Amino acid sequence: MRCHYEVLGVSQTATDDDLKKAYKKLALQWHPDKNPDRIAEAKQHFLEIRAAYEVLSDPRERSWYDAHRDVMLQKASGDDYLDDTINIFPFFTSSCYQGYNDSENGFYTVYNKLFKDIAEQDLKASTDKKVKIPEFGNSESDYEEVVGPFYAYWSNYCTLRSYVWKEEHDTHDAADRRVRRLMEQENKKLRDKAKKERNEEVRELVAFVKKRDKRVQLRKIYLEEQAARKKKADTERRNREKQRKLEELAQYKESQWMSFEEFEKQLDDLEKTVKDNFQESNQNQSRIENDDDDDDSADDLNELYCVACNKSFKSDKAFLNHEKSRKHKDFVLLMKAHIQQENEQLLLNNEDQTNITNDDDDDDQIARLPTNDQSTKSKKKKKKQRRNNKDNSSSDDDIEEIKYQLHGELPKENYQEEEEEEEEEVSTIATTKKKKKNKSTTETADGNDEASQAPIILQCFICREEFSSRNALFKHIKDLNHAKPIEAKTAIKPKAKSKKK
């Protein structure tokens, strides 16, 4: 066996183009038809050239050949062969067989014998005698039963031999246990290395044979034809299905319930129903709003309102409690007095009107009657403002002055503490007088001091005549029948503060 690179006359770094040019040149030179005088020699050289080119033109086979070229050439020559392992390197060329037939030197006979010898060596070294190794078969072997299982097993070949002859150390010569274990580890590494090399050699040979096996090529063609037929059948089936759907579509007749006219009628009915419901809902909404307005107006009419105190109430109980309060009773007395004064002014003569006018000026400083000309919302708003009003001192002074003019006596500080709940309403009545009082604060304070120090004047309420004593006043009332008393209770004297010791 010669090196493939020597056969083609190229270096190991030659490219694919270099290999192709060398092969064509040598093939023309050693073709049997070109050498009719030496046909046998030309045929042998031609087969050797073709085998070398087939190996080197395949990148995978070329890489494996480059890695094991020296070993293959050495073992092919028979030098330093130490074991009885079958040498498979001579079979990595097409020159080892003649034609793809079952003759003595044919492809199937040569490789069938080779793989059978390798299997017999493995079975002799194996401890498991039940192992079955597939055979290579012949040119007529069935792919499913013989060819397929053969390549499935040999493509993943693992040798069953132990390769103990590869060991370099004899464990019997070990001095102690530690040395013996080291020897065993080294021997195991050598055996595993030899097994690995043998497995790779056999697998590469199987790949080499499979590529040139006509049975595998025929199987590949058969599978491609079968895939093409399946694809064609699927295409025809899809076309038939498409044609059938087109025919059904052409014969399709729309049912009555799916027609557009019926759908349009249903749509009109639906729109009409929605429109009627919408109008009805709007009417109900407007009716509800009107009822709410009526309820609001009824609430305004049924609102409890105190004219004397200018205050509204939401319940009868609150209104009754307000009527029992002393603050309310004081304002009622004050209101009655003003009404009676206005009635009497219409009957007085000119002389009396002059005196009444002077008295009215004093009465204007007392208070102004409350009016109910405000809406409920404005009342509530002003009520909140009055609660937040911090100027309580000035309003308290106005209240005290009103009570003084009504009862004829000076109030005391404890009177204010007992009536804290009603001060907010009185502050509203005294608001008008507060403006006048701010303009002449000094004059009002002096007037209050003089009023507190001046003696009490007895006066007839009808004719406004003054008297120096009570007896004279009572006699005057009895003689002239001026007894028109005001229905009012005696003034409530405020409690005096207890002086701190």
DSSP 48: H
377-422 confidence digits (pLDDT tens): 566 666 666 665 544 444 455 545 544 444 444 444 444 444 454 4
3-class secondary-structure state, position 311? strand
State the Cα–Cα distance between residues 229 and 163, nearest whole angstrom: 51
Query: Which residues, in sequence order, are CB contacts of 398 under 8 Å at separation 6+?
Result: 426, 427, 430, 433, 434, 437
Mean pLDDT computed over 227-242: 94
- Using the Cα atoms of residue 192, residue 197, residue 198 and residue 204 in order, give the sign of their dihedral: positive
pLDDT at 213 over 70: yes
Q: What is the pLDDT of residue 449?
A: 46
Q: How confident is the model at residue 68 (pLDDT cuts 50, 70, 90)?
A: low
Burial 36-75 (b: 16+ CB within 10 A, else e): eeeeeebeebbbbbbbbbbbbeeeebbebbeebeeebeeb
pLDDT at 314 over 80: no
Other residues' Cβ atoms within 10 Å of the Cβ of residue 198? 18
**Single pTM value for the model:** 0.41
- Domains parsed from the chain with CATH numbers: 1-77 (1.10.287.110)
Average pLDDT of the residues of the chain: 75
State the Cα–Cα distance between residues 298 and 377, nearest whole angstrom: 15
